[in-house]
Each structure stands twice: as C-alpha cells, then as structure tokens.
C-alpha cells in the first residue's frame, strides 16, 4: 500500500515535547542548558509556561509516541540511554536554579498542550521554594555479609551426631540474629544522624546485591535534602558515622548531588 | 589492632570526584521518584523491561528486609521484632536454604503479604 519512494507517513515526522522538570521563569536561562544533548540528542530548550519554564526537548513521536515508546521501554539499552540523559539534563541545571524533577517520559504533543498542563499547575511554585538552594544527597550503607563458613560446615560435613548438628545450627542461628540486629541498628542510627543534618530525609527500600553490584549487604539506602551551604556539615556527619562504626565493618557510599527526586512528591 | 589500611583508604574514595552514577541509583530516581505529571503520552511503567528486573528486585528486597524486622522506613519506629515465632522460623528457613537443606519454595510462597 505504500508506493515506492513515498515519504514516511505524516505521523512519523511529528514531534512532541519531553519535559525533564520545571524551574522558575525569572531565573532560568537558555544558557543553563546550552550544549546539553537531551533524550533525543537534539538539545534542550526552555518552554515558557507562565511562572515556570519547562526544561524540555523536542522529540520525534516516531520514538516517543504512544506505540513506539511502549516498544522502546522494553529495550534495556534504549531505556538506559534515555534515563541517563534525563538525569544529565537535570544535573546541568542543578547548580544554577531550583528545579522540580519530573518522572521519566512526561511528554506533550505540542507546546500548547505543555503550557496548558504546566502553566495551571499550582504545585510548582511552592515546591520550588521548598527546594531552593538545596540538593539531594544519597547515602548507601553496606555491611560485609556474615561469614558463611560455620553454616556450611554444619550442612556439608558428615554429621554423625544429631546433637552436634543441632548445636551448630543453633549457634549459626544466633549469629544470624546478631547480624540482623546489627544491620537494623546501623540503619536506624545512620539514618537518624544524617537526617538530623538535613532538611528532609527518606529511607528507601534496600537494593539487593544483584542491583547494587556489591557483595556487601546494603543496610541503608537513604536520600537527604541538604542545603548547598551545609553539604560540608553533612559530609562531616557521614565521616563521623564511618569512624564510629568502623569496627563493625560498615562502609558508606555517598552519591549526588542529585536533583531532589525524592522530595517533590509531597504536595497535592 | 584494627585494619587502618582499609578504613583509611575507603573514606576519601567515597567523597572524591563525582563518578558516573550507578545505573540502579539513576533508575530508582528517574523511574520511581520525581513528580508525576500527566502528559499526553501514556506510558505503562510495568512495560519497562529494566523495571521488571531491577525494581522488582528492589521490592523483593523490601519484603526481605521486612521479614528481618528492618521495616522502620515505613513509619515504624525501631525494630518491630516482637513477633518472635514467625521471625525465628523465617531465619531458620533461610539458614536451611543457605545450607541447601530446606526446599527454597517455602519462603517464596510465604513472601506474599
């Protein structure tokens, strides 16, 4: 049905607007996004929506339209590139203006739709004030997994004595309980101390080692909203934790600064 | 008496240059956090292949942590480990599993809650 040499159907050449986040119109400037590539590799613009501007990219609907994106989301390589691009755009503006980060793939069919949707949303101004001058820092805490040797001897060797077997099992169970209690204590105290030097704090679900890519067990996956001028203080609190719990084998990993992804969902 | 080499060298590494963020940390934020605003294109996050791999693991680990009593992030204060019987049994199961004694199915089917 398509004649040879015919240009692609009109719908495939259409574009939409992919929004990474919003910033105060009075403060954002094209300069902040100059040279940033965006999710479609074509640059990032500011779309004026009244009090806020959308940090956005024009994207081909052949890639981001309803049907194509459903397929693309199943392609891990596609998704990773786009997710990382989303983050990089927001990182580029992070130091200059407050920005409310959007979740992945918020897309409008036209600038008019974008303006209509975002210009009337009253949440942004309040959120922007809440996060002004602050960044999100991530802290992950890890603990070496419990030594497995004892468990394995309990099961693997020829156990001739049932009593010996039970004793081994009991002591392994005790060690496991102590290990879990230590993890819980580390998690609780670490989060509390870090939250004390932050404006807001969230403890997220722990990443298993398949996700974290580390052998050590995660005991804390926290996000902290920290004033830029209090970052040093926050780092100091983290160093204090490192020292305090060094003997337990606990190790911490600091990530960020991130756009405040974990601190923009509250308002309605 | 302790091992100064380890703690001494691990500390600066955590604070030095900004390394490329780990994919899991970026996915967790960009796909699962950030404000949700209705757009014109409806995407079904359940369709995301990586979500099914990575985020499901995250959810699974939340369940696991809950079983261990580390559930304080859900609003509970410190350590709801009052329910001894269930927790103990679960630990036993896990140990048996780790030692290759028990059948792995058991904890899997009990995970639902």
**pLDDT 10s digits, A77-135:** 888 899 999 999 999 999 899 999 999 999 999 999 999 999 988 899 999 999 999 99
Please report whether residue B31 resides in a domain. yes
| Residue A70: pLDDT band with limits 50, 70, 90 | confident
Least confident range from A138-142, B47-51, B79-83: namely B79-83
Please report whether residue B4 resides in a domain. no
Per-residue CA distances from A108 to A30, A43, A56, A63, A197 (Å): 20, 17, 10, 13, 39
Please report whether residue B60 resides in a domain. yes
Q: Which residues pair with A53 in a beta bridge?
A: A23, A48
Which pLDDT value is given to residue B93?
57
C-alpha distance from B15 to closest chain A C-alpha (Å): 7
* Subunit contact B30:A261, Cβ cutoff 8 A: yes
Which pLDDT value is given to residue B77?
31
Q: Are A97 and A24 in contact (CB under 8 A)?
A: yes
- pLDDT(A198) > 60: yes
ipTM associated with this complex: 0.86
Tokens of A188: 């609780």
Domain count along chain B = 2
Contacts of A50 (CB under 8 A, 6+ apart): A25, A115, A119
- What is the rounded CA–CA span in Å between residue B48 and residue B44? 8
Please report whether residue B13 resides in a domain. no
Which CATH architecture does the domain made up of A135-263 adopt? 2-Layer Sandwich (3.30)
Q: Are residues B64 and B86 in the same domain?
A: no
Which pLDDT value is given to residue B46?
58
Which pLDDT value is given to residue B53?
54
Helical segments of chain A, H only: 10-13, 30-33, 61-64, 66-72, 76-94, 111-119, 123-131, 149-156, 162-196, 209-212, 231-244
Q: In terms of Cα–Cα distance, which of A193, A258, A252, A266 is closest to A223?
A: A258
Q: Are residues B28 and B56 in the same domain?
A: yes
Instruction: Please tell me the pTM assigned to this model.
Output: 0.74
Q: Are A61 and A14 in contact (CB under 8 A)?
A: yes
Q: Which domain holds residue B101?
A: 82-113
Please report whether residue B10 resides in a domain. no
- pLDDT(B94) > 80: no
pLDDT digits (tens, 9 = 90+) for B32-51: 889 989 999 977 765 565 55
Please report whether residue B1 resides in a domain. no
Q: Are residues B64 and B88 in the same domain?
A: no
Q: Are residues B64 and B87 in the same domain?
A: no
Q: Are residues B62 and B87 in the same domain?
A: no
Among left, alpha and beta (phi > 0; psi -120 to 50; other), residue A6 is beta
Q: Are residues B64 and B89 in the same domain?
A: no
- What is the rounded CA–CA span in Å between residue A103 and residue B33? 6
Would the CA dihedral through A180, A186, A189, A190 be positive or negative?
A: negative
Interface of B with A in 36-95 (CB under 8 A): 36-44, 47-50, 53-54, 57-62, 64-65, 68-70, 72-73, 78-79, 81, 88, 91-92, 94-95
- The overall average pLDDT reported for chain B is 54
Please report whether residue B44 resides in a domain. yes
Please report whether residue B47 resides in a domain. yes
| Residue B96: pLDDT band with limits 50, 70, 90 | low
């Amino acid at each position: 049905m398509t004649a040879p040499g015919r240009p692609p159907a009109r719908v495939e050449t259409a574009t939409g607007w992919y929004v990474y986040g919003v910033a105060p119109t009075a403060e954002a400037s094209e300069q902040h996004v100059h040279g940033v590539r965006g999710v479609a590799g074509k640059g990032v613009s500011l779309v004026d929506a009244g009090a806020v501007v959308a940090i956005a990219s024009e994207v081909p609907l052949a890639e981001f339209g309803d049907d194509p994106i459903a397929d693309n989301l199943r392609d891990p390589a596609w998704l990773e590139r786009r997710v990382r691009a989303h983050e990089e755009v927001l990182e580029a503006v992070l130091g200059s203006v407050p920005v409310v980060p959007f979740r992945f793939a918020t897309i409008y069919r036209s600038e008019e739709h974008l303006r209509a949707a975002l210009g009337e949303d009253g949440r942004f101004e309040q959120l922007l004030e809440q996060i002004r001058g602050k960044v999100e820092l991530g802290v992950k805490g890890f603990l070496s997994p419990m030594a497995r040797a004892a468990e394995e001897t309990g099961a693997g060797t020829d156990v001739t004595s049932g009593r010996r077997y039970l004793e081994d099992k009991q002591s392994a169970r005790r060690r496991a309980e102590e290990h879990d209690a230590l993890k819980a204590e580390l998690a609780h105290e670490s989060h509390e101390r870090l939250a004390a030097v932050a404006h807001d704090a969230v403890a997220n679900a722990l990443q298993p080692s398949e996700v974290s890519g580390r052998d050590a067990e995660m005991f804390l996956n926290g996000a902290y909203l920290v004033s830029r001028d209090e970052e040093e203080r926050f780092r100091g609190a983290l160093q204090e934790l490192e020292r305090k719990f060094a003997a337990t084998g606990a190790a911490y990993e600091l990530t960020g600064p991130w756009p405040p992804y974990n601190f923009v969902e509250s308002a309605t | 008496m302790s091992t100064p080499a380890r703690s001494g060298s691990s500390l600066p590494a955590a604070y030095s240059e900004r390394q490329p963020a780990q994919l899991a940390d970026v996915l967790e934020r960009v796909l699962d956090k950030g404000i949700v605003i209705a757009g014109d294109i409806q995407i079904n996050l359940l369709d995301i292949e990586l979500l099914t791999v990575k985020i499901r693991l995250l959810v699974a680990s939340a369940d696991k942590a809950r079983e261990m009593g580390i559930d304080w992030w859900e609003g509970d204060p410190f350590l709801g480990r009052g329910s001894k019987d269930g927790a103990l049994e679960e630990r036993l199961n896990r140990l048996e599993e780790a030692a290759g004694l028990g059948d792995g199915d058991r904890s899997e089917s009990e995970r639902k809650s």
